[in-house]
Amino acid sequence: MSDILILNGRVVDPASGIDAERDVLLRHGRVAAVEMPGELRAVRGKEIIDAKGMIVAPGLVDVHVHLREPGQTYKESIKTGTEAAAAGGFTSVVAMPNTVPVNDSVSGLEWMLDAARGACVKLFAMPAATFGSLGEEITDYHELARAGAVGFTDDGKPILHDRVMRTALVAAAGIGVPISQHAEDTRLTGGCSMNAGPVAFRLGLRGMTVEAESKIVERDIRLLRDIERHDGLRPHLHVQHVSTAKAMEAIRQAKREGLHVTCEVAPHHFTLTDEAIGDYDTNAKMNPPLRNDADRQAMIAGLLDGTVDCIATDHAPHALFEKEQEFERAPNGITGLETALGLALRVLHQGNGMSISRVIELMSAQPAGILSLAGRGTLSVDSFADVVVFDPAAEWSFDVAKTRSKSRNTPFDGAPMLGRVSYTLSEGRVVFKS
């Protein structure tokens, strides 16, 4: 592996407090030096990337993706999903366990993480929190952590029973990893296919109330408080894809109380509302659903005031034939790895005044920190040479026909984006070049 020298760029590395012109030297898969312009030009035997006019940032980290392998490779594979990640500037992704079969064993986890799967960026995984994601009996956290698990989740399903969730939080706290919760009280959402409100009424569809999300968040926070008081442990709850103002406020209050709660918001929840469904567009169907504009604004407020810890895509590919059916029968989910940065820069930076450095922090250092991914999400010397180089001023439109994903289920085909990725490097290898 040859040295790579990235010259003339604006290095934005929130973890190191750098936002200035710097040159970056990558060597043996690590960041070897970050120096003032001109000081590294004497290095020999190097490949040079001219980043003039570009931002050079830590590779993005996504704590929530669905790669569909094993079992559903007609939708996506680890190879194609990570290629889509690279095209979006991501160098680390965390695969969810709702594959076929569910990833709930050491053998399943090791198979997923094996280099033979062809991941072109760093692949991490969260195995199921309970066997089969059935919410009844927790998996072997110690053995799974030894095999590489970075947390546990039944994503796609909630852990409904108080006893099971409490047991999961206590077990995960014992080994210092989070429980990531899909906050949905499914006892309140049977037969629902979108957000409850005027749009659902007009379309004649059953809607999910905000309480279906907030009640689970509030229950989990009560469990955290109880465990801290009575067990002497400090469990870590990570709330996935928050979508309602009510759940956001519960998380804000829990943070003020000092409980160990983190949360993520997906780009579609701070960009779109349930109006995007139009006349039954299944490409705008996801779970949690698109909410009303007050909820969308609450997601932006949470991102701006620090309540939200990271941006995660919830990349959820589905085949065309699965989405091309009646709205209520179509599966939930959209792809997101290739549009996340462009939407975050357009909506949060351009539209709401968030600094580019903060956008990068929410997509690199912060998610890496949530899962304790050492050496990721930063360009500090000796960290992994995970780098994204992008033009922050480039305005472009997403063309789903050119996606690297196997699937094309997105409401953002033709949507305006800000900031275009030119290079993505994973551990010193160029894995995407525009």
> Which two tokens mark 159?
């852990």
User: DSSP string covering 363-415, please?
Assistant: HTHHHHHHTT-TT-S---TTSB--EEEEEEEEEEE--GGG-SSS----TTTT-
Region of residue 427 (phi > 0: left; psi between -120 and 50: alpha; otherwise: beta)? left
User: DSSP string covering 140-177, please?
Assistant: -HHHHHHTT---EE-TTS----HHHHHHHHHHHHHHT-
Give me the catalytic one of 23, 104, 274, 314: 314
| Rounded Cα gap, residues 132 and 117, in angstroms | 22
Give the CA diameter of the chain.
Answer: 68
> Which two tokens mark 360?
């990068």
> 281 an active-site residue?
no
How many other C-beta atoms lie within 10 A of the C-beta of residue 79?
A: 16
Nearest partner of 362 among 290, 247, 213, 262, judged by Cα: 262
* Half-sphere exposure in the Cβ direction for 218 (13 Å, CA): 13
Nearest partner of 31 among 11, 55, 61, judged by Cα: 11
Give catalytic residues, as residue numbers: 314
